[in-house]
Amino acid sequence: MISLYLCDMRKSFILAAAILGLMSACTKPDQEGQENEGPTHKDNTYTASFETLVKQKWLGGDKISLFAGDQTNQKYLYCGDNAFAVLEDEAPEPLSGKVSACYAVYPYDKSTTIAADGTITLNLPETQTFTRNVVTQHVGTMVAVTKDAKDTELDFKNICGFIKFRAFGFDVIKDLTISGNNGESISGEAKVTARFGTSPTIEMGPSARTSVTIDCGKGAWLGSLPSAATTFWIALPPVNFQGGITIKATSSDGSVFVNKISEPLQVTRNSVSTISKAVEFKQLAASRPLTFVSEGSSTLSLVKNGSPAPVELEYKTTDGWLTYPIGREITLSNGSEVSFRAIEAGNQTFSQGPADFYQFTGSGSLKASGDIMSLVTNDDTVETLPCDYCFFGLFKDFQALKVSPNLGATTLRTGCYEEMFKGCSSLNVIKTSFKTAPGTAFTKDWVAGVAPAGLFHKSPDATWEASGNSSIPDGWNVWMQPDDDDIRVYEAIEYLIPAPHMGANQIASEQSSYEDYTEWTFVSLGRDPYMPMTPPKGQAAGPVIVFQYKSSADAKCEFFWCDGGYGVGGPVGGKETAFTLAESSEWKTFVLDMQDAWTKHGFKGRPGDTIRFDVGNVADLSVSTRLMRWRPPFPEK
Give the pLDDT mean for 178-183: 90
Distance CA 532, CA 507 (A): 11
Count CB atoms within 10 A of the CB of residue 525: 13
Q: Does residue 474 have a pLDDT over 60?
A: yes
Residues 487/491/496/498 CA torsion (nearest 10 deg): 100
Of the two residues 146 and 306, the one the predictor is more confident about is 306
Dist. CA 84–CA 74, nearest whole Å: 12
What are the phi and psi torsion angles at 293 (to 5°)?
-110, 135
Our CA dihedral for 349, 354, 360, 364, rounded to 10 degrees, sits at: 160
**What would the mean pLDDT of 33-52 be, rounded to a whole number?**
50
Q: What is the pLDDT of residue 436?
A: 94
Q: Where does residue 346 fall: left (phi above 0), alpha (psi -120 to 50 degrees), or beta otherwise? A: left
In sequence order, the 6+-apart residues with CB closer than 8 A to the CB of 387 are 348, 349, 350, 352, 413
pLDDT in tens, 317-341: 988 899 999 999 999 999 999 999 9
Q: What is the pLDDT of residue 315?
A: 96
E strands in 376-519: 401-407, 429-432, 455-457, 477-479, 507-511
Arithmetic mean of pLDDT over the chain: 83
Distance CA(351)–CA(307), nearest Å, equals 9
Most confident stretch, 8-17, 383-392, 511-520: 383-392
pLDDT band at 526, cuts 50/70/90?
confident
Residues 353-365 have pLDDT tens digits of: 999 999 999 999 9
Helix (H) or strand (E) holding 234: strand 230-236
Taking only the tens place, the pLDDT of each residue in 573-632 is 447 789 999 999 888 999 999 888 787 777 788 888 878 899 988 888 999 999 999 999
Flag the least confident range among 59-63, 210-214, 427-431, 498-502.
59-63
Tell me the pairing of strands 429-432 and 401-407: parallel
> Which helix H or strand E contains 599, and what residues bound it?
helix 595-601
- pLDDT-above-90 percentage for the chain: 53
Quick: pLDDT tens for 545-576: 999 999 999 999 988 876 655 544 444 444 77
The reported pLDDT for the residue numbered 226 is: 77
- The percent of residues above 70 in pLDDT, for the chain, comes to 84
* Confidence grade of residue 516 (pLDDT, cut at 50, 70, 90): confident
Half-sphere exposure of 82 (CA within 13 A, CB side): 14
Residue 290 binned pLDDT confidence (cut-offs 50, 70, 90): very high
Residue 152 has pLDDT above 80, yes or no: no
Q: Find out whether 143 and 103 touch, Cβ atoms under 8 Å.
A: yes
Which pLDDT belongs to residue 636?
Answer: 55
Strands 622-631 and 520-524: antiparallel
pLDDT score, position 43: 36
Write down all domains in the chain, each with its CATH number in brackets. 6-283 (no CATH), 286-480 (no CATH), 500-631 (2.60.120.430)
pLDDT digits (tens, 9 = 90+) for 76-117: 877 777 777 776 555 555 544 456 788 999 989 999 999 988
Asked if the model's pLDDT at residue 314 lies above 90, the reply is: yes
